[in-house]
Structure 1
């Protein structure tokens, strides 16, 4: 692209402009080739039908259907009455047939007439367009036909601006217009029998009373990308312009605008926030407000992620989103889970251990852990923790693995005496062995025993069930905790990854945020920085050196950027709220990141 004179601009990379122009020309060639093939097929069909009577079905709007295609009976009818253009697609959708070549050409020629303000704002066309979005089964197919003939972009110029728009990265497989259409098709294609996850989504989808509004939100969720980065925010004025032009009912307009503005909300909260912190769901419920809106946002989020490209959607991400959806829906319904009684939990721990002699240990364990741990940990997992704690009598550190192949994840549990920087040492050891950390739950008992659980997978997104690999990792962890090897030496000796395809390296601005509004009991430190080996170790080491205890960590990577959130307290388990302490914490983390040039602190 650079050799051909395509330069970067404030909105997009030169290579993205180059690829868009290429795709536009390739699209035009494809359209001409497809039309030529269709014309030949029609000619062969007419030749084969010579001598026999062809059944013709006359329709309204000057249309006639025969031989599986829709044709125009009145030449020039579309130019005389542009409203008929959308009726063409409505008839084709209802009958489940293709457009004839001559009709398709006539539609393309007439499509620019829909760009007139009067037609875009026509109540009759709005009613017809929403009718096209309403029925289930052929919405995506009809929208693709409208897009290919230029009708969709003429009627909705905000969508037309996405045509062949490219994002140059490893993450997005499709151009923005094709991704949006694929998201509609993904949701429409859900059917029973595709698995437990799909079956549940089908049931949820059946609750949607206005599917046309959901489809409109999915179709237009990425319109802000025409304006460059920060597309969710930039899409807000664009979608408001659409709803005003279509003159949607105020409640309908508010829903569609909500879906576009917040289409990233569920995925960001699920992957970057502590779902066991009560305030997470409380804040989300305040934004969503209505169960019906939550349901549509959940369906849009699932369709959006699944339509990004292969490998982006996985069982782990699906489970996180589902848990967040269920918890928020429960909150909106006015219900809240009852806190478990510790005596009852102790009884269930002993049952899981199948050994009554463990009762004193189970009761002692519950007496020394936090309410949050009791609320968010299953008795079966607590039983495993009790066994690991018993092992500390004979060894300095005890570990155990729990694999979830269907989710593509593993849980790595570490139990040992707490020391400053323990999280960082574990995170560094995992990085040295190419283990990807998705999240972490940290529990330090009143007697100083740490029970740390790391939710992990390999860089390909699979559970790590190679026992020899874990043996090497736990051996290095023991040596690191004992001070026999430094973390820097361990990371330096790390085997190199296979080289990835080169991508442009835009200037990335690392950002450190300290936020005391997210949680009532913990300060949240967020880090956005270019992802690299050992980043998690460096950040968590800086937190430890700043006198912070980490309670929860959420680790997410988007393209080549790391989005990490750490729920922390001081050593006395209090939030860090003094302005001077907040500033010192920000600068401590910033010092661990090379090239940090933007710091941010929200009100504390």
Structure 2
């Protein structure tokens, strides 16, 4: 528009920049928000005047803008209230006004409605009602605004408003992971964020309890101490959000890894002990969020009791001289009881775990707990009664997880077990954990406890069966609680954690046999995952070594369950059906080895066993022995050792009838669990075949999880790949596409493309992994093991394959392990280039160059 070109936005941009500079020099949160709101107010008024918005209309600020909390890149949310029957000229003026608002470069949210339309939408839409609750007149017809807003407040049902906001908050928490302890939390929308605080200020305003924490305390809804802590928590988040916006130069409410270091430096954080400035900042954030979670739970209980007063529950029962049951609420008779005897604090959580009929704790109980928890001291920790209460509750069949979780939520666990306090809010600077150490640990305990309950038996039936057969499953709960207790100290956290659980067992009177069991599990909690994902578990020597370290079935059972739950609690991206299958296969193989007295099977024994089982499976298909044996003549003992009987039977059925075909044969077999396909490739062996197949899979968006490479006696490639589709495509159609298109790619034998420069993900750039390449002889001295660790990126496996092909290196097996953004791949290889040290060094150097070729 011509008028827009004549409207100068430069003065407002200059004012915003000056405010940012002033804040950087003198960070006064309240002052910045008020002054920035005033700048936006002037901008909106000037836009309205310039566009000639008719004086019969009213312009109001909504939401955060309405309550004068304009952060650097907050949205400009405004409502235009109009009389009935606007003229075309007035409509044009309002449209021009809205267009002008966008010229400042901020996101704009507007609605244009009459009084009737506004009241109708706010009566049916909780989001619209919330925004209009904080509406503030800026320009135009003040009487129209006041009349509309007053009517809205009169018609607002505070009970329904609170109920709707609680339901909305629950949905929001689920959307953002239902935890404040994510490593990249959203400080506005996440649990323990600004929005959680605003919800209660909204309710207080709707119900007439005031518009600030101080006024809520004066109204008796919270105590003065609670109001002080609410104010401090709010101030911390507001300051953090202002700094975050200014550093990013955009509307950004996530504490993403990219900015955590810069944000910590900007906020003045210094290294503290072993903590980096960014870790110190995040630890402060998590403790602030935890305080908000505690305070809001108290406030929810207080509002619920005040707002939804009902007749006294029919069931009121005195539990003892301290606690009372009021229906499904656990209450305390006197708030002084925690001060008189601090043991009652831990008893509250014990009773809550024992009595599953309790749904929540009363406001009085929570408030007393929050105010008295600081009295937990050395005497409390050394009290044998408290130790016994803790241990007895951990041993319960139902309730240990929620008992530990609630103790942690209310800050009791870290005070009772000082070693736990060190990991509260402790970040994990790696590419696969998505929670702090304490929250990951509680996740492990949760998954362990789920295995004890029949309602979850369908998830992992074998694990549930093993758990129910285990004696004293509480030992696993404690091993889970301590497995990462020494994270962040430097050195081996497994070894240090084993010492901590040993000290705990001694302090709490646990017998030496049970203590040894827990110590073993903590010390070796990474062992099974490492062997399953990095070694060839079809190799009997690998299984025998693992079995010798485990020693017996009891330890194997515990280690298997702890490993499964540890990986599950790491991240949904890390845990998958393939990893579960690897662990389960290793469990079964190790169990057989232990039952055989730890004696490894001979190569001849495994050869005979695989042939026998494969023969039984093939016979069920109706294939004759002559056809089967004719195909098997092309296979040697190595093939039978490296493939399962099921795969041998599948290969035979698919290939025996076309073993003399000159065209490539590609067959797929889908497995819906984990969304994976097994792909069989049978063709004349050709140079660069592995690289060509890898390039095809990467182009099709398929991740290779495992590869078995074999060359038959007559020189044909018989390769099997396990691939995973992360796009959720129909596996039957995908399999048909792979069979057709991969066969065409192999037949064409076109020159390989040059490896492209892969781009690291945002998280990968924040946590770069120094590429590690190791080539060494395997224990048989017949082949070499290539181990690669680096950041994941598109085209990585193809780049590795090209280097191997360039040096004529043959691949026997490949185990591709991706831990979210971190790759830990293991290849079994051989070739003339590896026969001398110089050749090995050259291959390693070229692989490192290929791994570092990332944007």
TM-score bracket for this pair, using the shorter chain length: 0.7 to 0.9
DSSP-derived class of the 1:562 partner: strand
Matched, 1:200 2:462: yes
Number of the residue aligned with 2:742: 473
Contact 1:162 1:225 in 2 (8 A): yes
Number of the residue aligned with 1:93: 353
Check 1:474–1:35 CA distance in 2 against 1; reply closer, same or farther (3 A cut).
same
Deviates more, 1:360-369 or 1:205-214: 360-369
Number of the residue aligned with 2:411: 150
Long gaps (5+) in structure 2:
1-259
Contact 1:392 1:416 in 2 (8 A): no
Number of the residue aligned with 2:289: 26
Check 1:32–1:204 CA distance in 2 against 1; reply closer, same or farther (3 A cut).
same
Deviates more, 1:548-557 or 1:245-254: 245-254
Check 1:27–1:569 CA distance in 2 against 1; reply closer, same or farther (3 A cut).
same
Long gaps (5+) in structure 1:
598-604
TM-score calculated relative to the size of structure 2: 0.60
Within-5 A mapping of 1:414-429? 414-419=681-686, 421-429=688-696
Instruction: State the Cα distance separating 1:36 from its structure 2 match.
Output: 1.9
- Counterparts of 2:764 and 2:788 in 1: how far apart (Å)? 23
Instruction: State the Cα distance separating 1:457 from its structure 2 match.
Output: 1.2
Contact 2:345 2:369 in 1 (8 A): yes
Instruction: State the Cα distance separating 1:150 from its structure 2 match.
Output: 1.4
DSSP-derived class of the 1:439 partner: strand
Number of the residue aligned with 1:373: 640
Number of the residue aligned with 2:753: 487
Contact 2:615 2:649 in 1 (8 A): no
Check 1:255–1:510 CA distance in 2 against 1; reply closer, same or farther (3 A cut).
same
Match of 1:325 among 561, 564, 587: 587
Number of the residue aligned with 1:397: 664
TM-score calculated relative to the size of structure 1: 0.83
1:92-130 deviation digits (Å, cap 9, x = unpaired):
2212334333333333444344441x5434544333212
Matched, 1:138 2:399: yes
Deviates more, 1:253-262 or 1:384-393: 384-393
Number of the residue aligned with 1:455: 722
Within-5 A mapping of 1:526-541? 526-541=787-802
- Counterparts of 1:274 and 1:342 in 2: how far apart (Å)? 16
- Counterparts of 1:349 and 1:411 in 2: how far apart (Å)? 18
Match of 2:845 among 566, 590, 597: 590
DSSP-derived class of the 2:812 partner: strand
DSSP-derived class of the 2:773 partner: strand
Check 1:273–1:92 CA distance in 2 against 1; reply closer, same or farther (3 A cut).
same
- Counterparts of 2:579 and 2:764 in 1: how far apart (Å)? 25
- Counterparts of 1:243 and 1:369 in 2: how far apart (Å)? 53
- Counterparts of 1:477 and 1:402 in 2: how far apart (Å)? 19
- Counterparts of 1:31 and 1:379 in 2: how far apart (Å)? 54
Number of the residue aligned with 2:708: 441
Number of the residue aligned with 2:772: 511
DSSP-derived class of the 1:266 partner: helix
- Counterparts of 2:741 and 2:751 in 1: how far apart (Å)? 14
Deviates more, 1:18-27 or 1:463-472: 463-472
Contact 2:667 2:681 in 1 (8 A): yes
Aligned length: 578
Matched, 1:164 2:419: no
- Counterparts of 1:477 and 1:12 in 2: how far apart (Å)? 53
Instruction: State the Cα distance separating 1:557 from its structure 2 match.
Output: 1.1
DSSP-derived class of the 2:265 partner: coil
Match of 2:826 among 549, 565, 580: 565
Number of the residue aligned with 1:602: none
Deviates more, 1:459-468 or 1:404-413: 459-468
Number of the residue aligned with 2:815: 554
Contact 2:427 2:437 in 1 (8 A): yes
Structure with bigger helix share is 2
- Counterparts of 1:379 and 1:34 in 2: how far apart (Å)? 55
DSSP-derived class of the 1:592 partner: helix
DSSP-derived class of the 1:591 partner: helix
Check 1:11–1:454 CA distance in 2 against 1; reply closer, same or farther (3 A cut).
farther
Instruction: State the Cα distance separating 1:541 from its structure 2 match.
Output: 4.0
DSSP-derived class of the 1:59 partner: coil
Larger Rg: 2
Check 1:270–1:417 CA distance in 2 against 1; reply closer, same or farther (3 A cut).
same
DSSP-derived class of the 1:395 partner: coil
Deviates more, 1:339-348 or 1:554-563: 339-348
Check 1:418–1:247 CA distance in 2 against 1; reply closer, same or farther (3 A cut).
farther
Check 1:44–1:568 CA distance in 2 against 1; reply closer, same or farther (3 A cut).
same
DSSP-derived class of the 2:793 partner: coil
Number of the residue aligned with 1:287: 549
DSSP-derived class of the 1:414 partner: strand
- Counterparts of 2:439 and 2:783 in 1: how far apart (Å)? 42
- Counterparts of 1:450 and 1:475 in 2: how far apart (Å)? 16
Contact 1:232 1:261 in 2 (8 A): yes
Number of the residue aligned with 2:570: 308
Check 1:262–1:100 CA distance in 2 against 1; reply closer, same or farther (3 A cut).
same
1:442-480 deviation digits (Å, cap 9, x = unpaired):
22223322211011112457785423355333322332x
1:244-268 deviation digits (Å, cap 9, x = unpaired):
5445433222222222232232223
Check 1:16–1:475 CA distance in 2 against 1; reply closer, same or farther (3 A cut).
farther
* RMSD of aligned residue pairs (Cα, Å): 3.7
Instruction: State the Cα distance separating 1:228 from its structure 2 match.
Output: 6.7
Contact 1:412 1:454 in 2 (8 A): yes
Instruction: State the Cα distance separating 1:80 from its structure 2 match.
Output: 4.8
- Counterparts of 1:343 and 1:226 in 2: how far apart (Å)? 50
Contact 2:665 2:743 in 1 (8 A): no
Instruction: State the Cα distance separating 1:437 from its structure 2 match.
Output: 0.7
- Counterparts of 1:390 and 1:120 in 2: how far apart (Å)? 73
Contact 2:631 2:656 in 1 (8 A): no
Check 1:12–1:535 CA distance in 2 against 1; reply closer, same or farther (3 A cut).
farther
Match of 1:407 among 674, 686, 700: 674
DSSP-derived class of the 1:275 partner: coil
Match of 1:70 among 320, 326, 330: 330
Check 1:115–1:423 CA distance in 2 against 1; reply closer, same or farther (3 A cut).
farther
Check 1:235–1:546 CA distance in 2 against 1; reply closer, same or farther (3 A cut).
farther
Contact 2:666 2:682 in 1 (8 A): yes
Instruction: State the Cα distance separating 1:540 from its structure 2 match.
Output: 3.7
Instruction: State the Cα distance separating 1:156 from its structure 2 match.
Output: 1.6
Contact 1:350 1:359 in 2 (8 A): no
- Counterparts of 1:54 and 1:290 in 2: how far apart (Å)? 51
Q: Higher RCO, 1 or 2 (CA under 8 Å, sep at least 6)?
A: 1
Check 1:66–1:372 CA distance in 2 against 1; reply closer, same or farther (3 A cut).
same
